[in-house]
Amino acid sequence: MRQIYPVTDSAPCWPIPGRVAPSAAAEPGVAALVDWLAATYAYPDKLWVRANMVASVDGAITVDGRSAGLSGAADRLVFSILRSLADVIVVGASTVRAERYGRAKVANIWPQLRAGRPAAPPLAVVTKSLDLGSRLMSDPEGGDLIALTTRQAPADRRDGVSGVAQLLEAGEHHVDAAVAVAALAGCGYRRILVEGGPFLLSQLVAAGALDELCLTISPVLAGGRAARMTTGPDQLLTELGLAAVLEDDGFLLCRYLRAG
C-alpha cells in the first residue's frame, strides 16, 4: 500500500500480505501501518459523518447482490480501521439484510484505536419497521445495537426490540437522515461511520449531512444491473474535493471531502 495523492517524497510503502487482522498487531510493520492509516483517516475534533463504500470501475457496488466480491486486502484493512476509529456505525435495514450484517466484533477492531471507548462501536440500524432480523437481535459477542426508527413504528416491534437495542426516534413516518445524525450526536456519538445503503447515503447527501466519502475503486468491470452508490427520485449534484488516494494491487482508496 502506498499514498499516491497528495504526492510526497516521504510517503511509506507497505506490502499487505492477505488478510491483516488485529490479532496480527505484533507482526513486524503491522503496528506502524495501522498507526499510519489511523493518522490518515483521523476524524476532526467535531461532529463528522463519513461514508465508506466500495465500487467497481464502472460504478457497481455489488457483485451477486453483495459488496464482498469487490473487496481486496487493502479495502478490508481500511474497513477495519474506519470501524475502529468510529464512535458508531450506521447502516440501512435493507443493507443489513442483503449483506447479512452482524454487530461489530471486538476481534475485528484494533484496540489501540479505542482508548477510552467501548471495545467495539455500536451498530445503528435505520429501520422504519424495526425488523432487525434474528442475527442482530441474538448476537452475544458484538457491540451494542441501536435502532433509528420513527415515532409511528409498530408498538409490538418496539416491545420486542427495546430489551435488546436502544431506540432512537428520527422522524414521524419515515426516518430522516439528518435527524438521525442529530439524535446520534445527542448521545455523544460524534465520529459517525455510514456503511450504506444507497438510499440512506442519498438522503445524507441531499440534507448536506455527509462530510466525507471514503471510496475504494475496485479494478474490475462488473456490468449487469448492479445498484449505484446513491439512488432516489432526485438527481444529486454535490461537489466533492479529493483529499487523498492510496493504492494497493490496483485498488484505489480515495478520500473525498464535501466542498466548502
Q: Parse the chain into domains and list their residue ranges.
A: 65-248
Q: Which residues pair with 105 in a beta bridge?
A: 142
Least confident of 26-30, 70-74, 92-96, 194-198: 26-30
Task: Looking at the structure, give the CATH architecture of the domain made up of residues 65-248.
Answer: 3-Layer(aba) Sandwich (3.40)
Q: What's residue 227's pLDDT? A: 86
pLDDT tens digits for range 33-56: 999 999 999 999 999 999 999 999
Residues 40, 152: Cα–Cα separation, whole Å: 41
pLDDT tens digits for range 64-107: 888 989 999 999 999 999 999 999 999 999 999 888 899 999 99
Residues 172, 251: Cα–Cα separation, whole Å: 41
Residue among 260, 259, 258 nearest 212 (CA): 258
Quick check: 258 and 18 in contact, CB under 8 A? no
Residues 48, 16: Cα–Cα separation, whole Å: 29
Which three cell numbers mark 19? 488478510
The letter for the amino acid at 130 is: L
The model's pTM is: 0.95
